[in-house]
Structure 1
């Protein structure tokens, strides 16, 4: 799967100047691990500069479930030797750490864990909407945490090392005025952080072989690509450019960057096909028309028509073993919705689902009262009788306005007042550092319509298909390098354990996106466990099921220990 990956560092891209879509030589996708066996071996001056200082911490005190818990805080540890200097203001907000504030991490070690070389490293990214994430501290002096509701508190209570990881991504402006967060920066930085942990494994508490990564939304997508693409050579030129650990002078890897487990909530991923997936889901049963959210019906229809062929090309199967196609997708989603409701009812005797015709009262996102005309359940037996998918999708789309068409790679087709337009959505994740944005899909490229933005058929005279034939094209590579489906099932070292959640009321990306991720992971023989569920009655959000997620992490660690000991997980 996938096309060749771009072998061009950031500085080389900058040298292109205003040329919008040109790059350099390519290397092949899925060519196998690019890492050696090094785990903590300093091989050059850059690696030496990244040595962990075990004495450079401040002790802070927190309370977890009423128990005083001292924690060592290693503050803003820069995980690359050559970080990108950024502008002093980002999105109107002043930035204190311009030298490495987007390429550093806060490391929190419970005192009880200091001598434990086997405990897990809980690696949390804070990327929302694929936006760049400035360094933050989830653990603060004097704070109180409940392990039942806070993944931070639960991780510390379990004795895990908690790590907040900052990263470049869209919207980031460098000190020289260029856009420093273009794809695949978010994936590259996450890999660089993993490599830092691997380099310093012997000097740090915990085990870099037991990295558990957590993220929501754009962060869910970020951890998904990190988990899918372990040890791929495709990222080495980018890692070398920023001075990541374990890339030698010849551009070869001496460290691994695969991880142990992924905890991903509502991942905004498969960006190159997110628009067609969204339009197909919300037009195949007339959802846009039913809820009065079809301002660009021609665009919706054209985009939706492209999805069946793409889905077929993935060659996935449903959980029942049937081919996953546009003919079976709605039934597959209905089965997942039913499974979600049954899991909710079975979890607690107090959990009930309103009967058909009764009101569904929602607070928070999508607040309002809605009539249940879509799911018939038997609360006595915790079973679902039927799901009306047409009414269900209308229910989802009634709570929050559907995104415009196209949703992620927006164009002039987008109707004014609909919440978007050219350069919005995720298009500023793509293009060269000299560009504000670039279209990154066939429809939006061919229908750009904004004169003078330097991209699209209108400005370049190139159709999308013609563009892809140019060896210097980079946008398609940028799409592939943050798409986990390009790596799952290849020779990349995909994480063996996955916990994926997508809310049943989430309309921020198509429900098909998380389902195809699940089905691809299930087909990968190297993946040992995929715990996938549409989370009942949840909108676009994450870390709402902390006890369940943390229990899964503990079970996965135990299963790996059992496997290493020569036993099998039941």
Structure 2
């Protein structure tokens, strides 16, 4: 009976203490005079507390001032020995490393308060990320490299900010509580932005010119933060850790500064986690086989429960897309099939872009060669030859099958597998923790299923998650007012804020590789349409780069030229 009451009790407590309903920002005009409270006073930047770091950029000596800053007034003290919970053990040197940032300032920019801030989060897989930087004594950077974003940023004279955040798989507090549960990574990133805004007049660089960037889970975090600028939904969580720029308490809690960003550069963003499994199975379910999908619990794909689960999960995706109410560029309603058509158009555009610049794109029957495999082209038909060739036809189903052949697909369930029937090791009995399930749940729960199929099919007795332990179906638990899961899913989902009163970043640069199977193409195309439809957004640059897998910072010259153009257009 205790477990059955847990979710109801938590929902009631959350409804009383957390403002989870609206998305109304509470910005303050730049001329407003705001009394500095004790927490803001404690977060005042000290320009004298830096170390000098000597590096080279393009072979030339380059000196920087480097500041290490705890960006909240009430940081959570963490265990130094972090078990990792699926991501390997981590030993921290600093119990506040998850809520710290390292600010590296080129010496020649020490008095420049207008240069941009490159704000980097490092949360691959949505894992917790203690602060770290590659800008260390003696490091060598190359500004002209297509893979060296630090070199490009330093050469351009930007301030480089490495940001640590709490998140899943770790961030266990000294008292044993899981401090990284959603929305902790978004809250921490916003708190770091607020620190920069609070101290904008004292620090090098302009907090009005923050370019936030990340890859994979970090790309998803970037998208969530960039979409939800200045939303009041986060204020109770920000207040809990002593973030800058808050006044009042409870229902009167309000913001005195902003946490929106100028631009988002998101690589392969693992976003919209609550619907990522549905999108994945809608995309890949029909091409799954023993050849491209691994066994679970020692049972081959076709012999186990994966096919039925895939079909059931995929079935909810079309209705989800319909209910969003988004439109295509021409004004027609966006549907799941429309997402496939739109994805196909982006693939076609990328192929023709590559052909035009001289890339040897193989004709039908030729071979595509990646770092993972050499596979025959059975999906792309070209018309003409050389740089004048055009794309005559793309067989979408065969293209998806090619992607799955290049790299095996994630097993079913891809993102929310923990505690799910079949998803356990046949030898050890351990549950599969490969997905993001442990980002969710209460601070005392190792994980909580966050999707309908996984919740209803949870088979891990005693884990506190699923119908088996709570007595509540997914429909019942999500119907409760302000349940923890509803709130967590909303606060990390960019689509919950794009197109609302939140101040989304005006500029977006989003990339997802053409052979990246870590999330569905339709999920990224859906993100694109949500960004494009937001009236706060002035420009979105979106591509599926040719034969690129799950990676980031492979197109640094293009990305930084884009960043420079946006900054130059907004002096």
TM-score by length of 2: 0.90
RMSD of aligned residue pairs (Cα, Å)? 2.1
| Structure 2: gaps (5+ residues) | 1-5, 294-300
Partner residue in 1 for 2:60 = 67
Q: Partners of 1:62 and 1:494 in 2: how far apart? A: 35
Q: 2:47–2:203: 8 Å Cα contact kept in structure 1?
A: yes
Q: Partners of 2:312 and 2:209 in 1: how far apart? A: 45
**2:368 matched to 1:360?**
yes
Q: 2:214–2:267: 8 Å Cα contact kept in structure 1?
A: yes
Q: 1:41–1:199: 8 Å Cα contact kept in structure 2?
A: no
Select which of 73, 77, 81 maps to 1:81. 73
Structure 1, 122-131 or 140-149: larger mean CA deviation: 140-149
**2:406 matched to 1:406?**
no
Select which of 18, 24, 29 maps to 2:14. 24
List per-residue Cα deviations over 1:211-260 (Å, max 9, x = no partner): 00000000001010110000000000000000000011332111100110
Deviation for aligned residue 1:36: 2.1
Partner residue in 2 for 1:126 = 122
Deviation for aligned residue 1:332: 1.7
Q: Partners of 2:71 and 2:531 in 1: how far apart? A: 29
Select which of 57, 60, 79 maps to 2:50. 57
Q: 1:412–1:447: 8 Å Cα contact kept in structure 2?
A: yes
Deviation for aligned residue 1:316: 2.3
Partner residue in 2 for 1:164 = 162
Q: 1:448–1:457: 8 Å Cα contact kept in structure 2?
A: yes
Partner residue in 2 for 1:33 = 25
TM-score by length of 1: 0.90
Select which of 108, 123, 141 maps to 2:104. 108
Structure 1, 540-549 or 441-450: larger mean CA deviation: 441-450
Q: 2:229–2:502: 8 Å Cα contact kept in structure 1?
A: yes
List per-residue Cα deviations over 1:439-482 (Å, max 9, x = no partner): 11111111111111111111111111111232362111100100
Q: 2:21–2:233: 8 Å Cα contact kept in structure 1?
A: yes
Say which SS state the counterpart of residue 547 (structure 1) adopts.
helix
Partner residue in 2 for 1:520 = 530
Select which of 372, 376, 393 maps to 2:377. 372
| Structure 1: gaps (5+ residues) | 1-15, 562-570
Partner residue in 2 for 1:436 = 446
**2:184 matched to 1:206?**
no
Equivalent residues in 2 for 1:158-557, closer than 5 Å: 158-171=156-169, 172-250=171-249, 251-283=253-285, 286-289=286-289, 291-293=291-293, 294-295=301-302, 296-346=306-356, 348-349=357-358, 351-363=359-371, 367-377=372-382, 378-410=385-417, 411-416=419-424, 421=431, 423-471=433-481, 473-557=483-567
| Structure 1 residues 211 and 385, CA gap change in structure 2 (3 angstroms) | same
Deviation for aligned residue 1:373: 1.0
Q: 2:276–2:519: 8 Å Cα contact kept in structure 1?
A: yes
Say which SS state the counterpart of residue 315 (structure 2) adopts.
helix
Deviation for aligned residue 1:27: 2.9
Q: Partners of 1:479 and 1:86 in 2: how far apart? A: 24
Q: 1:376–1:387: 8 Å Cα contact kept in structure 2?
A: yes
Q: Partners of 1:435 and 1:413 in 2: how far apart? A: 19
Q: 2:20–2:482: 8 Å Cα contact kept in structure 1?
A: no
Q: Partners of 1:36 and 1:307 in 2: how far apart? A: 39
| Structure 1 residues 41 and 179, CA gap change in structure 2 (3 angstroms) | same
Deviation for aligned residue 1:60: 1.3
Deviation for aligned residue 1:317: 2.9
| Structure 1 residues 337 and 559, CA gap change in structure 2 (3 angstroms) | same
Q: Partners of 1:136 and 1:19 in 2: how far apart? A: 39
Q: 2:268–2:513: 8 Å Cα contact kept in structure 1?
A: yes
Q: Partners of 2:447 and 2:10 in 1: how far apart? A: 9
For these two proteins, the number of residue pairs brought into alignment is: 537
Partner residue in 2 for 1:12 = none
| Structure 1 residues 548 and 508, CA gap change in structure 2 (3 angstroms) | same
List per-residue Cα deviations over 1:293-328 (Å, max 9, x = no partner): 345111111111100000111222334544321232
Deviation for aligned residue 1:330: 2.2
Deviation for aligned residue 1:382: 4.7
Deviation for aligned residue 1:141: 1.3
Deviation for aligned residue 1:432: 0.4
Structure 1 stretches of 4+ moved >6 Å: 16-22
Partner residue in 1 for 2:93 = 96
List per-residue Cα deviations over 1:360-415 (Å, max 9, x = no partner): 2221xxx1211111112343315222111111111111122211222111142345
| Structure 1 residues 22 and 185, CA gap change in structure 2 (3 angstroms) | farther
Q: Partners of 1:135 and 1:19 in 2: how far apart? A: 35
Q: Partners of 2:224 and 2:235 in 1: how far apart? A: 15
Deviation for aligned residue 1:345: 2.6
| Structure 1 residues 205 and 434, CA gap change in structure 2 (3 angstroms) | same
